[in-house]
Copies of this chain bind each other. A is one copy, B any other.
Amino acid sequence: MDDRPTRKALPRLDESLLTHLPPFSRLDRRQIRTILDQATSRRYEEGVAVFHEGAPAERFHLLLDGYIRVVRITPTGEQVTALHIPAGQLFGIAQALGRNTYPATAITAAESIALSWPMRLWQAFVTEYDGFATETYRTVGNRVGEMNNRIVEMATLRVEQRVATALLRLVNQTGRKVEDGIEIDFPITRQDLSEMTGTTLHTVSRLLSAWEKDGLVRSRRKRVTVRDPHALVELTQA
């Protein structure tokens, strides 16, 4: 159980990397080979931006390992996290929706590995590869759904409920089973949680302290383990 960050190695660009991912799962080995040959792979340290809001959308990306936080920065410098993207998904695909700049900034929430392709290949992917467009749009649809949920939450839930919801979502999406519960398997600070829920790190800290006292969660620096998910669910409905 060593938490020391082991430097992730760039994988060999092997066909098996893509075969199980929805946008590529219908393709044959030769097609995937072509796709891989056109890709650039790169490792990103934790907290690094893959691309910035407003920059021309020159490449689209596939996250092979790690996590991405999609954030926007307000005129006053506050960050708001709009979305979390787990490994295995495309990101930076605003082009598919007719945008030519990135609408938000993508920051790695943990050390990550991503492939990317120049945007000019997008059209080729869509027309040549069966199921690519459909699956991509399905991904977009899911993200739209999540955003919609976020709006409803922000409009109707109190802070405590929002933080509980955020924790549960992270646990569901990226939870790793550990001895005494489920741990969110990337580093996450009080600040991060506050940016996801529209509150302050102080309030998040108070909530986590209270929950820890009641045995609902356990948290160390940059780490959160949920011990009693059911109790958290209760909280979201209170």
* Residues A130-158 near B (CB distance < 8 A): 134-135, 137-138, 140-141, 143-145, 147-148, 150-152, 154-156
On whether the beta carbons of A141 and B78 are closer than 8 Å, the reply is: no
How many angstroms between the C-alpha atoms of A74 and B148 in the bound complex? 12
How many of these chains are in the complex? 2
Question: Contact flags (1/0) for A182-197 with B, using CB distance below 8 Å?
Answer: 0000000000000101
Check: A181 CB closer than 8 A to any chain B CB.
no
On whether the beta carbons of B94 and A156 are closer than 8 Å, the reply is: no
**B residues less than 8 Å from A78 (CB atoms):** 155-156
How many angstroms between the C-alpha atoms of A137 and B95 in the bound complex? 10
On whether the beta carbons of A152 and B97 are closer than 8 Å, the reply is: no
Stretch in A30-38, A43-51, A98-106, A107-115 with 4+ CB within 8 Å of B: A98-106
Check: A226 CB closer than 8 A to any chain B CB.
no
Check: A96 CB closer than 8 A to any chain B CB.
yes
Cβ-defined partner of A154 (8 Å) among B75, B103, B141, B154: B154
On whether the beta carbons of A98 and B137 are closer than 8 Å, the reply is: yes
Count residues on chain A whose CB falls below 8 Å from chain B CBs: 35
* Residues A159-217 near B (CB distance < 8 A): 195, 197-198
List the B residue with the shortest CB-CB distance to A134.
B98
Shortest A161–chain B CB gap in Å is 11
How many angstroms between the C-alpha atoms of A80 and B153 in the bound complex? 9
Check: A76 CB closer than 8 A to any chain B CB.
yes
How many angstroms between the C-alpha atoms of A141 and B93 in the bound complex? 11
- Contacts A96-B137, A98-B138, A137-B97 given: A151-B154 contact, CB under 8 Å? yes
Check: A84 CB closer than 8 A to any chain B CB.
no
4 extra interchain contacts, Cβ-Cβ under 8 A, other than A80-B155, A82-B148, A140-B140?
A: A97-B141, A98-B135, A103-B145, A144-B147
Q: Supply 23 A–B pairs (Cβ within 8 Å), ascending by A.
A: A72-B148, A78-B155, A80-B152, A80-B155, A82-B151, A82-B152, A94-B141, A96-B137, A97-B137, A97-B138, A97-B141, A99-B141, A137-B137, A140-B140, A143-B144, A144-B144, A147-B147, A147-B148, A147-B151, A151-B154, A154-B154, A155-B195, A156-B198
